[in-house]
Chain A
Amino acid sequence: MNTKKMINFTGMRKPAMILSAVLLVASIVSLFTNGLNLGVDFTGGTVIEIGYTEAADVDKVRKQLTEAKYDAAVQHFGTAKEVLIRIAPQEGVDKSKIGDNVFALLKETNPDIVLRRVEFVGPQIGDELRDDGGTAMLLALAGILIYVTLRFEFRFSVGAIIALVHDVLITVGIFSILRIEFDLTILAAILAIIGYSLNDTIVVFDRVRENFLKLRKATTEESINTSINQTLSRTIVTSLTTLLVLAALFYFGGKIIHGFALAMIIGVAIGTYSSIYVASSSLLMMGVTREALLPPEKEGEDQEEIPESYS
């Protein structure tokens, strides 16, 4: 029926599983030991971005702030003319004024500086965001689980969730390993990755369902393999176009969106891999068969084919 050469993806599921396991373990270990480099959105504190008219001397700024008893981290941001100052939450003082005070202090020595950005997040907001972020993630997963169960079958939704958790964990793990700052936009990216990864997985699953009904003589593994191959060019083309725009965001979107674009790029790459290898492998492991998806009245008709499916 199909003359196109097929790649045996399901046959490669052992090495793929090992790769995924290594990535997952590395991510989890790093998350437990390194933790996440949480941004001010989650930890609370103050971030000030200041624009200088010429290249700024970061060491001098740091020294000045240390002398004024601020616990500050100072670095260049984007160009040498911009400086980003992070100030850890301090006890006792009115924290909402730290940003103003620091800017006023630096302006004394350098009257030409401009205030580009101040972000202050109170301690209670940071905690709430962390909780809300977790809740949102769980809610999204629950909503998706319900939808996929209704449209397919329970084991499919478990497969989709496994692929999702896989993608999210590894993306977050990479942020932890590379110590990239994890802020609110990264959280948005993670939730977008959930949507994207699922999109990819659903397309493959849709085909699996169709082929289960169509390819009566094929084994479960063959059906799944055929499905992956049939959707392969779509998976690659869509990932490519998405990566194209993400690359545009990464290079041209400005510094604030940088982390978001990076997280999405990592997530899309892993999502593409997982929808080919992880999602379908988990279907096989859970013993999904074509019967599970057949309408009940056809049961009798299909009975004799059952042994074949298990072979």
Chain B
Amino acid sequence: MNRYPLWKYIFIIIVMVAGFIFALPNLYPSQPAVQVSASSTDFPLNDFTLNQISETLAAKEISVVETGPVIDNKVLIRFESPDTQLAAAEVIKETLGKEYNTALNLAPATPSWLSRLNPMNLGLDLRGGVHFLMEVDMKSALDKALTRNSEEFRTFLRSSKIKYLGVKRAGDSLVIQFKTEELRDKARGELKREYRNEIEFEDFETDRGAALKATLTELNINNTKRFALQQNITTLRKRVNELGVAEPVIQQQGLERIVVQLPGVQDPTQAKLILGTTATLEFRLVDEGNNAFTAQSTGRIPPGDKLFFERNGNPILLKSRVMLTGDYITDASAGFGQDDQRPNVSIVLDGKGGKLFAKATGANVQKLMAVVFIEHKTVVTKQEDGSIKKDTKVEREVINVARIQDTLSNRFQITGLDSPQESSQLALLLRAGALAAPVYIVEERTIGPSLGADNIEAGFKSVIIGFILVLIFMAIYYRVFGLVANLALTLNLVLIVAVLSMLQATLTLPGIAGIVLTVGMAVDANVLIYERIKEELRNGLSPQAAIQSGYEKAFSTIADANITTLIAAIVLFGMGTGPIKGFAITLAIGIVSSMFTAIMGTRAVINLIYGGKKRLKKLHI
């Protein structure tokens, strides 16, 4: 009676040792580090670059603690203090140039034999950083698809030699107008074959005669949305890399949203500007034959023209036809003009763009060309009746007008920017590519580094104090059995930390609250068992029998109670937003591991203490 078979002891010891090992990396503090990574495989990180870095750092008298091995074209360089880390990051950035990304990071200072294991991830509320939830403006993604389709219809009908009167937008569909029903029937057949699963065509009568109504199919709408989301995630990832953030999180959430988490970023304004803008460029010819001021005051815009405004607010008439859009830009970098030292952006176009632009500029030498800066902004407002209204505003601004001196090819420069900041930002945006559809921020949580440090301190303090209070209480109330329960409680805490580290789960402040709560509730199982043993003793059972029946009878109660709490934790997890999820994870892990430590763990120790004694008279409980 009251003996555990050897395998149970071995099992408990294995779990215990594994728990301690996995929890161990958390004991080591993290060190300030700089993470250097190559932005493309054309520029590998090799001994040469590493040498270059260490030599420059040595020249600037910045001492390096350790330079790690190159893994996945990334290297971590550790420093003693955040100050040297900052200085070093600047130096490295300067030496290596834009082919390499430099990011501030915190690296765990685990010894090499442990370096394969990772400590828990700290959430943004504990380490500081920016969290954005961005929504993709799907309406404008679909608008874009429709506009593209209307262009395609025109080209298709022209090439199939079917005469049409026009293609017009009507709500969420396009209306193609024909002169006769015969033409429409012919067009319908051709179009249906061409766009089998993508677009539905429906006969339609307008006052001008027979027409076709083209609507995107459900499948096509979903594909367009999915593509816009994926494309935006890719672009955002590129932009974040340009920002220089270590371990960023860029994830899809739901069907229309993207989560962006930037640990360590302290300036949300800058991050927001870079991530949220859908800036792109357009090149158009200036209409030099008409007066823009007259057009503005009379409201009569000459045919084939569009009215724009320059930075200083002056109106300007540009041709409606676009010479080139920003889509063909493959690279862009900021710099200064050789003559006037004013900020500029050097642009490189891809082959097709280069040809297009050479043709367009070659035909218009000595004419004025304008560079139009385009930005989409989405403003969300809540209506009186509670519904949500989204307005997309497109802002177009002429940043530069210059006379075309010669045929421009795939490399040229644009000027007209106000500051070096602006030119480097525009270069970054052009380099990272445009967003497929505008995004706007629907939720932001920024935690400054000082608050992060406060939170982590407060969190650990409350865990330790709460834990010690419970230990003292249990030791006084249940004496020897209390001490055994305390052992189990300690092991439970270690196991929670180990599992969190193993899963690489993120520890947040609510997560710490979850741990604290489990500490309080984990003793419940032991309390149930011990109270039961006391009761059995009062009922006149012998100590050994009381232990046996106490554990046995308490088990179903413990299981019932924990499973119901587990149900609540799972629902919490499923509900899904960040802070609550963190709480639910630790609660769930705590419940499961407490079942193990409080039942099996304590029983093993109790058996070890009392199991062998045949004539046990009294229990210290």
Contacts and interface: CB of A to CB of B under 8 A. Distances in A.
A153 interface: no
A150 to B, nearest CB: 10
Interface centre among B535, B553, B577 (most CB of A within 10 A): B577
Nearest to B564: A198
A183 to B, nearest CB: 9
A1 B574 CA distance: 48
B210 interface: no
Contact of B377 (A94, A117, A196): A94
B602 to A, nearest CB: 15
B391 to A, nearest CB: 10
A257 B572 contact: no
B388 to A, nearest CB: 5
Given A96-B272, A245-B519, A187 B580 contact: yes
Nearest to B578: A184
A196 B521 contact: yes
Contacts of B534: 233
A295 to B, nearest CB: 16
Contacts of B448: 51, 114-117
B538 A117 contact: no
B272 A100 contact: yes
Contacts of A210: 553
Nearest to B569: A195
Contacts of B381: 91-92, 123
A273 B600 CA distance: 31
Given A140-B567, A196-B565, A234-B528, A245 B444 contact: no
Interface string B357-386: 000000000000000000001011110001
B196 interface: no
Contacts of B561: 198-199, 202-203, 206
B571 interface: yes
Nearest to A122: B442
B270 to A, nearest CB: 9
A279 interface: no
Contacts of A257: 458-459, 462, 509-510, 512-513
A187 B583 CA distance: 11
B567 A144 contact: yes
A99 B444 contact: yes
A200 B276 CA distance: 49
Contacts of B268: 99-100, 118
B579 A185 contact: yes
Contact of B557 (A115, A185, A202, A254): A202
B445 A253 contact: no
Contact of A89 (B269, B382, B510, B565): B382
A44 interface: yes
B572 A188 contact: yes
A203 B462 contact: no
B564 A199 contact: yes
Interface in A130-171: 132-133, 135-136, 139-140, 143-144, 147-148, 151
Given A120-B443, A184-B580, A97 B516 contact: no
A136 B572 contact: yes
Interface string B267-281: 011001000100000
B447 interface: yes
A241 B513 contact: no
A68 interface: no
B51 interface: no
Contacts of B531: 231, 233-234, 237
B568 interface: yes
Contacts of A248: 462-463, 465-466, 469, 516
A191 interface: yes
Interface string B123-140: 001000000010100000
Nearest to B515: A245
Nearest to B448: A116
A252 B462 contact: yes
A140 B379 contact: no
Contacts of A115: 266, 446, 448
A249 B516 contact: yes
Contacts of A240: 473
Interface string A74-92: 0000000000000001011
B228 to A, nearest CB: 18
A164 to B, nearest CB: 10
A125 B575 contact: no
Contacts of B576: 132
Contacts of A3: 538
Given A116-B450, A244-B469, A253-B459, A140 B571 contact: yes
Contact of B520 (A91, A117, A151, A245): A245
Nearest to A245: B466
A194 B568 contact: yes
B443 A136 contact: no
B470 A244 contact: yes
Contact of B571 (A116, A139, A243): A139
A172 interface: no
A238 interface: yes
Given A123-B388, A234-B528, A92 B269 contact: no
A238 B568 contact: no
A9 to B, nearest CB: 17
Contacts of A270: none
A188 B580 contact: yes
A256 B565 contact: no
Contacts of B556: 206
Contacts of B447: 116-117
B3 interface: no
B573 to A, nearest CB: 10
A117 B446 contact: yes
Contacts of B528: 203, 234, 238
B487 interface: no
Given A100-B272, A230-B535, A125 B462 contact: no
A238 B523 contact: yes
Contacts of A291: none
A188 B514 CA distance: 10
B474 interface: yes
B567 A245 contact: no
Interface in B490-514: 509-510, 512-513
Given A44-B382, A192-B587, A206-B556, A99 B539 contact: no
A195 B272 contact: no
B169 interface: no
Contact of B451 (A117, A187, A230, A231): A117
A221 interface: no
Interface string A108-131: 000000111111111111010100
B380 A95 contact: yes
B560 interface: yes
A93 B135 CA distance: 17
Contact of A202 (B527, B564, B575): B564
B458 A241 contact: no
Contacts of B388: 123-124, 127
Contacts of A289: none
Those 10 A-B pairs whose CB atoms lie nearest each other, nearest first: A254-B458, A248-B466, A245-B466, A122-B442, A195-B568, A242-B520, A195-B565, A96-B441, A245-B520, A253-B462
21 contacts: A96-B276, A96-B441, A97-B269, A99-B268, A100-B272, A115-B266, A116-B451, A117-B445, A117-B451, A125-B133, A198-B564, A199-B561, A202-B560, A203-B557, A206-B561, A210-B553, A234-B527, A234-B528, A238-B521, A248-B462, A261-B513
Given A188-B579, A195-B565, 9 more contacts: A2-B539, A96-B272, A116-B450, A119-B444, A125-B443, A136-B572, A191-B568, A252-B458, A252-B465
Interface of B: 125, 133, 135, 266, 268-269, 272, 276, 377, 379-382, 386, 388, 440-448, 450-451, 454-455, 458-459, 461-463, 465-467, 469-470, 473-474, 477, 509-510, 512-513, 516-517, 519-521, 523-524, 527-528, 531, 534-535, 538-539, 553, 556-557, 560-565, 567-572, 574-577, 579-580, 583-584, 587
